[in-house]
Amino acid sequence: MELSTTAGLWLAVILSGLYHGLNPGMGWPLAVSSALFERRRSALWPALGALSIGHFAAMLGILLPFSIMTLLVDYQREIRIGAGLIVIAMGLYLAITRRHPRFLARIPPHRLALWSFLVALAHGAALMLVPVYLGLCAVEELDTGHRAASALMDTTLLALSVAALHTVAMIGSGGALAFAVYRWLGLQFLSRSWFDLELVWAFSLILVGVIGVWTAY
């Protein structure tokens, strides 16, 4: 791939992480509530750490199977198109239903890592990275000998890198917002400025899926 294309895909990984972090649905308000409940600012960090662990695990849970599937070089194009269509379907489902899975509300607040893992799967956050990740792999552009020797290692390490970079961006933006709300803005910010990103989120999934299918062609 051209350097500009690769850089653009990595930028997409970072920007999607920042977007996920700012979305209240990814959990930063829970970190604020944890700090307020315990009445100490230091409680923010364990809560944000638990959220990042769960989000990272969800990214890997989705990306690693696709990293193995990229070894099927003969079906690389079909896999990328299929992944894009799945992302589009997830976006359409969220746009139509506009409902949060009820089981997420039953998870105790002290299990933030588990909650973060499940919400990243339920909202399609991990799924959104798949078309970007498959574009970064570009297995079909490698020669046969190199592909046979290192494809598995390369794609697995790439999946880890994408998940890690995305999670750092996610927890960075979400953590900054959580800290600002706790330290300066207060709970009034949440009540007055709360914004519903559910429909925007659904359309962003559809957009990423369409771009993934288009680039596969």
Domain-by-domain residue ranges, the chain? 3-216
Q: What is the pLDDT of residue 65?
A: 79
Residue 148 scores a pLDDT above 50: no
Residue 211 confidence class, pLDDT cut points 50, 70, 90: confident
The pairs formed by 98-104 with CB atoms below 8 angstroms and a separation of 24 or more are 98/198, 98/199, 100/25
Range with the largest mean pLDDT of 11-15, 164-168, 180-184, 201-205? 164-168
pTM of the predicted protein model:
0.70
pLDDT digits (tens, 9 = 90+) for 73-87: 556 677 778 888 888
Q: What is the pLDDT of residue 105?
A: 60
50-81: string of b/e by CB count within 10 Å (b at 16+)? bbbbbbbbbbbebbeebbebbeeeeebeebbb
pLDDT digits (tens, 9 = 90+) for 91-135: 888 788 766 666 566 666 668 888 888 888 877 777 778 777 777
pLDDT digits (tens, 9 = 90+) for 119-130: 888 777 777 787
Q: What is the pLDDT of residue 73?
A: 57
Q: DSSP states of 54-97 as a string?
A: HHHHHHHHHHHHHHHHTT-GGGHHHHHHHHHHHHHHHHHHHHHH
pLDDT digits (tens, 9 = 90+) for 185-201: 876 666 655 555 667 77
Dihedrals phi, psi of 108, to nearest 5 degrees: -60, 150
- Hey, how many other C-beta atoms are within 10 angstroms of the C-beta on 180? 14
* Average pLDDT value for the chain: 78
pLDDT digits (tens, 9 = 90+) for 20-61: 888 887 888 888 888 888 888 888 999 999 999 999 999 888
Q: What is the pLDDT of residue 137?
A: 66
Alpha-helix runs per DSSP H in the chain: 3-22, 28-38, 44-69, 76-97, 112-122, 125-137, 144-180, 187-193, 198-216
